[in-house]
Amino acid sequence: MLDFLALTLGLALPWTLGTAALAAAYRRIEPPPLSWLVGCGWFVGILLLTLWIRGLSIAGLRLSLLSVGAPLLIAAGIALWARQRGATATLASTVRAGLRSLAGIDLSGWQRTAWRLIVVWLAIRFALLFAEVWWRPLYPWDAWTQWSTKARVWFELGALVPFIDITEWLTGATPGSYFDHGPHYPAMVPLMQLWAALTIGRWDDALVNLPWWATGAAFAFALHGALRQLDFSPIVALAGTAMVTSLPILNVHVALSGYADLPMAAYVTLGTLAALHAVRSRRTADVVLAVLLLVACVMVKNPGKAWLVVIIPGLIVAALPRRGPPLVGLAFGITALAIIVMARTGVKILGYQLLPQFMMPWGSLVDAYFSFGNWNLLWYFAVVTALLGGRQLLTRDVAPLTCVVAGGLLFLFVGFAFTNAFLWVEDQSTVNRATLHLAPLIVVWMLVTLRAWRAARVERAATLALRPS
């Protein structure tokens, strides 16, 4: 019981800090949906938490619950005070309005019933996932070999000691260093586990994984808020959220915690949607939020650098609706040519060896996306959406997301066909984890495309009705 209370308060601290900081940023302007603020608050808070831990390490201070948590608590209090100072609406009224919206009170008829059924279903799903995380010890493979290794060492020593390659470690050239399978991987993921261990005062192979459950829950809130910002109705926004959170592979990465792919998917999705919204709104608060979420992509996992490049075409098209699409099309062509040339040289990119031959394992890829149970019917729906909405894919509202999705699929295609990652397609491992980074954006793209397709059909029907017989 004490562990549960400590972890609840420990996870609530960065979540409160991030949410309060965002609420303060929007205090004098029309705020975004409460679900967007609350969901993104977790991801901003975790980013600030890990940056603060790094700062303490650079200053040579020992990492403890007091040294890490006390300043964050003070910062959260200051952010809440700043939110109230000069705000156009009180915090209580904002929360009440947001809760009213989240509860579906403003809906009626079948929409209210559907809303409540989906909410109950989501609550049961996350309750079961919580039990999985609480009871299941740290799962093997990458979690054991390159992420939690760092968190355990840093917790025991109270310092962020360096990790190096085993060959360098054997030479003894760097005293006081440690090694694991991924010494040069970013530190954000193990720092999440480190904070969980600090809150309970000990290392527990199961309890240190609670941040992954919080990440999944916060992602659901933020995704709902993002869809509401895209002007989807409450019931459609909730249905889209349910579609993403029901993906089996995403649930696996909540339950079998310790991997970087769930945070990577969340930051890529939310960073992209926040950046596209910032391009439209041109508000400082939106821009700052987008920058924070996109910067975090690089701090979660090395492929985050590639995902930032993937997002750029969508931002260009959003900012330049007329001139952007030809520029992006030219960029895609140049990129494809450059990949072919680089593949001939065998260069390494982000640790992946480009191969001079095309080796796409089509059978294994089709199995992963269409036959096995990791994605429900996502890829079938995506194909149908592309066929139905083909004429709307490059319209003003859809084109930015189309470019991001196309760039993401190109990135995955190159990785699977021209690098040593083709082996991980054949054994059904990395193919699903890498695709998870893009999958939530594909769901949002599907909803935006189908809405544009439906609007075009309604417009055509109205036009035909006005024609003289």
What are 339's two structure tokens? 């990949």
| Packing angle of the helix pair 210-229, 109-135 (nearest 10 deg) | 160
Q: Distance between CA atoms of 262 and 251, rounded to whole angstroms? A: 9
pLDDT tens digits, 108-138: 788 888 888 999 999 999 999 999 999 988 8
Q: Distance between CA atoms of 213 and 240, rounded to whole angstroms? A: 19
Across the strands, what pairs with 178?
Answer: 163
DSSP-based three-state secondary structure for 88: coil
Rounded to the nearest integer, the mean pLDDT of the chain is 88
- Spatial CA neighbour of 198 closest among 207, 186, 187: 207
Quickly state the pLDDT bin for 189 (edges 50, 70, 90).
very high
What are 306's two structure tokens? 């590639």
Of residues 434 and 273, the one with the higher pLDDT is 273
Could you tell me whether strands 348-349 and 352-353 are parallel, antiparallel, or unpaired per DSSP bridges? Answer: antiparallel
Task: Please report the pLDDT score of residue 153 as a whole number.
Answer: 95
Is pLDDT of 44 > 70?
yes
| Mean pLDDT, rounded, for 299-312 | 92
Helices (DSSP H) in 301-426: which residue ranges? 304-319, 324-345, 362-366, 378-388, 399-418, 422-426
Q: Tokens 């109705």 label which residue?
A: 233
Q: Kindly report which listed range (143-152, 168-177, 214-223, 280-289) carries the lowest average pLDDT score.
A: 168-177
pLDDT tens digits, 144-185: 888 899 999 999 999 999 998 888 888 887 888 898 888 889
Q: Distance between CA atoms of 151 and 223, rounded to whole angstroms? A: 29
Q: Distance between CA atoms of 316 and 230, rounded to whole angstroms? A: 18
| Mean pLDDT, rounded, for 13-26 | 93
pLDDT tens digits, 233-257: 989 999 999 999 999 999 999 998 8
| Mean pLDDT, rounded, for 10-31 | 90
DSSP 8-state code for residue 208: G
Cα→Cα distances 430→116, 181, 372, Å: 36, 16, 15
Task: Please report the pLDDT score of residue 93 as a whole number.
Answer: 65
Across the strands, what pairs with 348?
Answer: 353
Task: Please report the pLDDT score of residue 97 as a whole number.
Answer: 67
Is pLDDT of 19 > 80?
yes
pTM: 0.93
Task: Please report the pLDDT score of residue 21 as a whole number.
Answer: 93
| Mean pLDDT, rounded, for 401-417 | 89
Quickly state the pLDDT bin for 98 (edges 50, 70, 90).
low
Of residues 324 and 63, the one with the higher pLDDT is 63
Residues near 234 by Cβ (< 8 Å), separated by ≥ 6? 101, 104, 106, 107, 111, 115, 228
What is the number of helices (H) and of strands (E) in the chain?
22, 4
- Spatial CA neighbour of 429 closest among 252, 247, 184: 252
Q: Kindly report which listed range (36-45, 60-69, 356-365, 452-461) carries the lowest average pLDDT score.
A: 356-365
Q: Distance between CA atoms of 67 and 60, rounded to whole angstroms? A: 12
Is pLDDT of 206 > 80?
yes
DSSP-based three-state secondary structure for 202: coil
pLDDT tens digits, 360-402: 778 888 888 998 889 999 999 999 999 999 899 989 999 999 9
